[in-house]
Structures are given as C-alpha cells and as structure tokens.
Amino acid sequence: MDAVDIAIIGAGITGVGIAQRAQAAGYRVLLLEQGGIGEQTSANSSKLIHGGLRYLENGQLSLVRQSLAQRKALLTLAPKLVKPVPFYIPIYQGSQRGPLAIRAGLSLYAMLSEFDTLGHFNAVDAKEWPSLGLKLNGLRAVFRYWDAQTDDHQLTVAVAKSAQALGAQIKTQVQVEQISHDHSGCVLSFRQSDKTISAEPQQIFAKCVINSTGPWVNQTLDLVSPAIEKVDIELVQGSHLLLNIPPPAGILYLESIFDKRVVFVIPWQGKTLIGTTETAIDSPDKAGITQAEIHYLLGIYAHYFPQHGDENHLRDNIVRHYCGIRVLPKQQGDAFDLPRETLMRSSKSHPHILTIYGGKLTTFRHTAKEALQWASDRLGVRPIKADVDKLSLD
C-alpha cells in the first residue's frame, strides 16, 4: 500500500491551503477531492477578502485583526486575484447604526489593520451620492472605506496549482469512503466519485489525516472507525443573486429592511451581485435557494435602488443564483451573531486526525499555518522546500 505523511480530504480553500503549506514544509502530501477543485463553498462565497467590519459589533477583534493581516498578505502575494475595492455605507434616517457608531467602527477597523494601504476611510461628499445609484430620500451620510475582492474559485485553483508545483499529489473526482484509525496512523479507502465507473476502491496509509470537508465535516467523521467524537454544528445556507443590472461603483454595505442584518450589493463580472441570506439547513446535500431568500434579497435591493423596478420586475433580471453553506458551532442565538473563527479538533482517542470546522476564505493561510503546526508536532520538522510567505499566486 502507498504511504504519505499527510492525507487531506477536501480541496476547498482550506484543503488546498494546507496542502501548499505542508508540501512546502517538506512533507509528502496527498489531497483527495470528490468533485473538482474549489467547486463547493469556496466558489459560492461573497468573494471578499476582508477583515469583516461587522464582526467588530460582537467583539471578534482578534478575528478582525487576523483577517486584516491576511488581507494585506494576499494583496501582495496575489495581486492579479485579490484587488482593493471601495465599500460604501449609507446611513438613512432610522438606520440602526448612526454616523458616530460608523465612524467609531471604521476608526477601530483602520487601527486593527495597523493603518496599512487600505486602512483609511472618509465621509463621502453629498455631491457624489447620486453617482452611487442609491435612493436619496432620507439619506443622512455615506462613508467610504476599503477592503478587497477576489474570484474565490480562481484563488482556490491558484493555491492548488502552487501546491502541485511543489510536489503535492492531488486526486479529484474521488470520494473518501472509509478512514481506519490505529496507533500508527490511518488507512483511507477511496473510490471514483462517478459510481457508473466500476473501479475497485483504492487504499493509502497516512501518518496524519486532515479533514477539511467544509459542510461535510461531520459526515466525513462518520467514516472513521473506531467512531470519533464530533462537534455539534449548524449548517447555514447563504444565497446570492446575480442581476443583469450594471455594476455599482463599489460594494454597498446595506442594512436589511427586514431584520437589520448586513447585506452586500457587489459589482461582479459587469453585473450586480446581492447577498447573502442565512437559512438553517439539515444537510449540505439539501442546499438550494428558496423563494423566501429571493424575496428577501430582491426586497432589499428594490428598497435601496427603486429606479430598477419592483421585486417582480427584478425577478426577470436574475441571471444566476448560488448558495454556499456556513459551518457554525451550535450555540444559542442568531446565526448572524455566531463566531466565525475556525475551530480545529484532534482528540486523544484519534491523535492522527485533525478536523477543521468553519472559517473564512480570507484566513485560509492562517488556518493552514495552524494545521501544519499540528502535523509538525506529530511528524517532526523536515527540510523546507519553499517559503509560502514568498510564493506568489496567479
């Protein structure tokens, strides 16, 4: 049976980021993916490389600081894929967050970025407001700050290519079906995902296994024998609509008229993207946009951009819609307020398996660094092949 140091299951941004870093650190890496590279959550996000201004409201300062540091690194390492973009926050009479609160939040945000090149903001002159296309009635102020935007799928593919160039082996269209754990490591059985191809299952021995299967994370743990403990999670679907409407001048940070959540209106490929929703689902295999989500997103858009017509008219302008699934720890409270930090779990009973729950596209390099630390503690340090902090991505 073939053997590797680290087998990674799932080639979303988390898995490819770990593969790149682990291979660069001198380990023999195999990455197994049941579909294509980065085709699931990592192709269905809001495509922002950002600190997450709104996380300041529930005190997630360390997540924001870490994300802003990663934003800075990605702007340097992947300038063709990660680009600065202005964000506009309009404040209306009756908005939940007034000019003082926004000014305070943006000051803290700039401070947490250590005043890097994007760490500044300003109040937009009223003469510029009409160019944003927003309804002007009741508008009191507009703030502009900066974050970055990417093509999430292309970024994931670029990291996978970098991992492969370093020597990582990536197998796509293969599904892991069984993980047998013992005192020395794990034997993974996997097979062609296309069940019409009658191929025998293949096996590989791995000293360490990293489960980065996104929303399928607990389904993957069900494949482990002997059985392993799982963290209770919530799966929350986020949907986006792409409208055949010319793109806005930047990203509009809007307060939902239904529940005060933040919803973004985003320029995307010459059109207008709106997202996102938060709908609890039972299984990643049940994801799919609902009529209630379409009503929610179009209702908000029609409210702020009345010149583009009412909800019914906007429905005819939907070019595409997509859903991604967030993995959030099960806790009391609204999904919107639950922490977005990545959770990593390895247990005494199964010391060769690391499981990754949740996270953000923006922080994939940080997640990879922590996962590699876990692997190095088990495998020892190897002669390094490359410094990923200097490898450009394109």
Nearer to ligand FAD, 63 or 298 (CB): 63
- State in angstroms the smallest separation of the CB of 354 from ligand FAD: 13
By three-state DSSP, how is residue 96 classified?
A: coil
CA distance linking residue 349 with residue 231, whole number of Å: 15
Nearer to ligand FAD, 325 or 379 (CB): 325
CA distance linking residue 378 with residue 70, whole number of Å: 27
- State in angstroms the smallest separation of the CB of 36 from ligand FAD: 8
**Which candidate, 286, 311, 291, 292, places its Cα nearest to that of 301?**
311
Closest residue to ligand FAD, based on beta-carbon distance: 12
Nearer to ligand FAD, 9 or 168 (CB): 9
CA distance linking residue 230 with residue 240, whole number of Å: 30
**Which candidate, 21, 372, 18, 8, places its Cα nearest to that of 209?**
8
Nearer to ligand FAD, 27 or 190 (CB): 190
Nearer to ligand FAD, 240 or 352 (CB): 240
CA distance linking residue 38 with residue 287, whole number of Å: 17
- State in angstroms the smallest separation of the CB of 48 from ligand FAD: 3
Nearer to ligand FAD, 215 or 250 (CB): 215
- State in angstroms the smallest separation of the CB of 67 from ligand FAD: 7
Task: Check the CA dihedral 133-135-137-143 and report its sign.
Answer: negative
- State in angstroms the smallest separation of the CB of 141 from ligand FAD: 25
- State in angstroms the smallest separation of the CB of 264 from ligand FAD: 8
**Which candidate, 247, 291, 299, places its Cα nearest to that of 273?**
247
SS (H, E, C) 23-68: HHCCCCEEEECCCCCCCCHHHCCCCEECCCHHHHCCCCHHHHHHHH
Nearer to ligand FAD, 18 or 26 (CB): 18
CA distance linking residue 26 with residue 22, whole number of Å: 7
- State in angstroms the smallest separation of the CB of 221 from ligand FAD: 10
By three-state DSSP, how is residue 43 classified?
A: helix
Question: Which residues lie across from 292 on neighbouring strands?
Answer: none
**Which candidate, 48, 51, 54, places its Cα nearest to that of 63?**
51
Q: Which amino acid is at 94?
A: G
Nearer to ligand FAD, 26 or 159 (CB): 159
By three-state DSSP, how is residue 191 classified?
A: strand
- State in angstroms the smallest separation of the CB of 289 from ligand FAD: 11
CA distance linking residue 213 with residue 217, whole number of Å: 5
Nearer to ligand FAD, 276 or 346 (CB): 276
- State in angstroms the smallest separation of the CB of 216 from ligand FAD: 4
Residues that bind ligand FAD (CB under 6 A): 9-15, 32-35, 39-42, 45-48, 175-176, 212-216, 220, 238, 276, 324-326, 359-362
C-beta separation of 238 from 278 below 8 A: yes
**Which candidate, 316, 139, 166, places its Cα nearest to that of 241?**
316
Distance, C-alpha 304 to centroid of its chain: 27
- State in angstroms the smallest separation of the CB of 223 from ligand FAD: 7
CA distance linking residue 175 with residue 179, whole number of Å: 12
